[in-house]
Amino acid sequence: MDYKKIGLKCGLEIHQQLDTHKLFCKCPSVLRDDTPHFEVKRKLKAVAGEMGKIDIAAISEQAREKIFVYEGYNDTTCLVELDEEPPHKLNQEALEIGLQIALLLNMKPFDEIQIMRKTVIDGSNTSGFQRTALIAEDGYIETKDGKVRVNMLALEEDSARKIKEAYGEVRFRLDRLGIPLVELRTEPDIFTPEQAKEAAEKIGLLMRMTGKVKRGIGTIRQDINVSIKGGERVEIKGVQELNDIPKIIKLEIERQQSLIEISKKLKQRKAKLEKKFFSIKKILEKSESNLVKKAIENEEEIIAVKLSGFAGLLKKKIQAERYLAKDLVEYVKHFTGIKGFIHSDELPNYGISENEVFQIKKFLNCKNEDAFAFVFAEKELAEKALSYLIDRCQQYVKGVPKDVRDVNDDCTTRFLRPMPGAARMYPETDEIPVPITKELLKKIKIPEKPEERLAKFKKWGLSNDLANQILHSQDLITFEELVKRFKKISPTIIASTLLSTRDEIRKRYGIETSPIKKRHFEETFELLDKGKIAKEAIVEILAHLAAKPQMTAEEVVKKLKLQKISIKELRKIINKIIDENEELAKNKQFKVLMGFVMRKVRGRIDGEIVAKELKKALEK
């Protein structure tokens, strides 16, 4: 596809969790899966922002009155997360990490930052807003296809984790609420799907250079803004997998192109949508349809609306296998909770006959180009649903609606909420402005950049491949610390141990390696550094530590008798084995004898030395 011709423009918004305590209280930033200790029930209300406007996204949430349940832990969540205590002073460490990232991205910090309240009433913040502060602007990164400007960087608190939603009740966990996040946004300087992936990768790597960002699932989230010529800026939220980015963008292009086509068609047809709702219960009274029978039995109303100009369009695929009607259903469901509607493009069906369809069309005064839709529900709810349906159809006439969308597993997207406006921000009055002084900036050390680190690693003797692997690894900072601390150990051994030992243990011993912590590596390398063990023992020691993480490396060495042996001791062992196996020695059965020796000394001395000494002994 010629992306230039279609005018593709993408921007990224990246959220990265920082590895410190929470932004506005001293609670640790830990996510938990054990049973929460308590829960609290709350409601939220849309309120006017600073400029006196109520944000459209906020109203959309309020259209559905919901109860929010918050789960918490007595030892890791406090009154601040519960919105029962004012926020403490901004976490200084988080601010400093934020500034480090800003400087890595060539950004300029502001002179003074003001913590803002961003109205969010989907329940994910107990307060009804998210605290956020803009700290820097005007940076850039380089990609193969050119410069991508990074225009803003904010420090903000993460939202509560959604656990479940059912029966008008949404359940959140407070463990994530308040974890410091860096949010950064690029200009729409990205012109191909692949470039978007590259930019996201680069930014992620740069942030990791601080050694102070969280790693693992859910700790970094990418939002992508996509627009094409004639389309509209659409925000796609919560992309977790970098490799999905190109596909998501391609599918969004498809969706916007389909909607542009549909809009053209609707304009040609002079579609004029009206919120005129009619009961068609009479027409369907004697219908064979089970759906209708059930509705009548439940004393529900059947309310219909004409969809001017929409005939044939509702079953049109707009994104992969997704129909336009599916998008409409999701939109209506979002605002009213209604599960679905029936439309004329899928009729006759569900036991509704051709004649009944004809009767409804006639009753609603539908021309050939018009479609209709109806819902089963009580009158008030049905009309509310159809009213939202008409709103959405009107948006289609105009073109691509300005949506915030959520990613599905297959990289298609679904409606999440309308695009929020600027009215959703007002100052956090519980905090005072924070000056970013020259003294503070002087204190901030810019971490080494990826290319600087690569050069350094190569100087340390790492192969190109290994250097790149360790640069991208979550053990990057540990690696550098260990190299600095254990000067006698070759950095290559440290790097390859950090990178591959876990896999090797899983494969060779079938032991889960997540209990292996930094401490275990440190202890093991300390023994190696002091010459107490051979490097051949490392895997075995760590495997044992994985199974028994409470032990120390030294204890494991003692228990498994893995102390390094000297060449003198080795020669003794070899001589003893040769004495015991005269026949084999005479026939120079090297392989068999090697096996015997190794059984005694495995992990305690370099195998090559063993082979050399055995050969020497056999030649005598």
Cα(228)–Cα(319) distance, rounded to whole angstroms?
Answer: 15
- Across the strands, what pairs with 406? 237, 414
| Residue 138 contacts other proteins per CB under 8 A | yes
Nearer to other proteins, 115 or 141 (CB): 115
Does 128 sit near other proteins (CB under 8 A)?
yes
Q: How far is the CB of 97 from other proteins (least distance, A)?
A: 19
Q: Which two tokens stand for residue 154?
A: 């904010």
Told to check if 116 binds other proteins by CB under 8 A, we report yes
Q: Are 395 and 418 in contact (CB under 8 A)?
A: no
Q: What is the DSSP letter of 423?
A: G
| 424 sits near other proteins (criterion: CB under 8 A) | yes
- Regarding 477 and contact with other proteins (CB under 8 A), the answer is no
Q: Which is nearer to other proteins, 186 or 395 (CB)?
A: 186
Does residue 37 belong to the site contacting other proteins (CB under 8 A)? no
Residues touching other proteins, count (CB under 8 A): 50
Which member of 7, 26, 63, 114 binds other proteins (CB under 8 A)?
114
Please identify, using beta-carbon distances, which residue of 438 and 507 lies nearer to other proteins. 438
Question: Candidates 44-52, 394-402, 516-524, 593-601 — which segment interacts with other proteins by CB under 8 A?
Answer: 44-52
The reply on whether position 153 binds other proteins by CB under 8 A is no
x-marked contacts with other proteins along 79-108 as a string, rule CB under 8 A: x--xxxxx---------------------x
Q: Which is nearer to other proteins, 49 or 180 (CB)?
A: 49
CB 385 within 8 A of CB 341: yes
- The span of 42-50, 373-381, 483-491, 501-509 binding other proteins (CB under 8 A) equals 42-50
Please select the residue that binds other proteins; options are 60, 119, 159, 258, rule is CB under 8 A.
Answer: 119
Residue 117 or 334: which CB sits closer to other proteins? Answer: 117
Closest to 197 in 3D by CA, of 14, 444, 69: 14
Least Å distance, CB 131 to other proteins, is 11
Q: Does 195 bind other proteins (CB under 8 A)?
A: no
Min dist. Cβ of residue 421 to other proteins (A): 8
Residue 44 touching other proteins (CB under 8 A): yes
**Distance (Å, whole) CA 468 – CA 203:** 16
How far apart CA 42 and CA 3 sit, in angstroms, is 47
> Is the Cβ–Cβ distance between 517 and 549 less than 8 Å?
yes
Do residues 127 and 104 make contact, with C-beta atoms less than 8 angstroms apart? no
- Residue 236 near residue 407 (C-beta atoms within 8 A): yes
Is residue 261 packed enough to be buried (19+ CB in 10 Å), middle (13-18) or exposed (0-12)?
A: middle
Counting contacts by CB under 8 A, is residue 40 touching other proteins? yes
The helix (run of H) or strand (run of E) holding residue 94 is helix 92-104
The site map against other proteins for 53-72 (x = CB under 8 A) is -----x--------------
Range in contact with other proteins (rule: CB under 8 A) among 99-107, 128-136, 323-331, 574-582: 128-136
Name the nearest CA neighbour of 126 among 39, 239, 10: 39
Question: Closest distance between other proteins and the C-beta of residue 394, in Å?
Answer: 26
Q: Is 460 in the site for other proteins (CB under 8 A)?
A: no
* 75 in contact with other proteins (CB under 8 A): no
Residue type for position 77:
T
> By CB under 8 A, is residue 562 in contact with other proteins?
no
- Provide the 8-state DSSP code for 180: E
Written as six digits, the tokens of 447 are 């971490």
Q: Which is nearer to other proteins, 49 or 231 (CB)?
A: 49
Residues 297 and 295: their CA atoms lie apart, in Å, by 5
Q: How far is the CB of 111 from other proteins (least distance, A)?
A: 4
Query: Least Å distance between CB 90 and other proteins?
Result: 14
Query: Does residue 348 have a cis bond before it (omega within 30 degrees)?
Result: yes
Q: Which of 52, 216, 510, 531 binds other proteins (CB under 8 A)?
A: 52
Q: What's the rounded Cα separation, in Å, for the pair 195 and 8? A: 12
19-27, 28-36, 51-59, 288-296 -> range binding other proteins (CB under 8 A): 51-59
Q: Is 130 in the site for other proteins (CB under 8 A)?
A: no
Contacts of 348 (CB under 8 A, 6+ apart): 354, 356, 357
**Which window, 115-123, 140-148, 174-182, 600-608, contacts other proteins (CB under 8 A)?**
115-123
Which residues have CB under 8 Å from 101's CB, separation 6+? 16, 153, 182, 184, 206, 207, 210
DSSP designation for 237: E
Q: Which of 126, 222, 225, 258 binds other proteins (CB under 8 A)?
A: 126
One-letter-per-residue 3-state SS of 385-418: HHHHHHHHHHHHHHCCCCEEEEECCCCCEEEEEE
- 172, exposed or middle or buried, with CB in 10 Å at 0-12, 13-18, 19+? buried
Q: Give the C-alpha separation, 130 to 30, whole Å.
A: 19
425 binds other proteins (CB under 8 A): yes
3-class SS of residue 143: strand
Q: Considering only residues 432-451, where is the footprint of other proteins by CB under 8 A?
A: 432-433, 435
Give contact residues for other proteins (rule: CB under 8 A).
40-48, 50-52, 58, 79, 82-86, 108, 110-114, 116-119, 121, 126-129, 132-134, 138, 152, 154, 422-427, 429, 432-433, 435
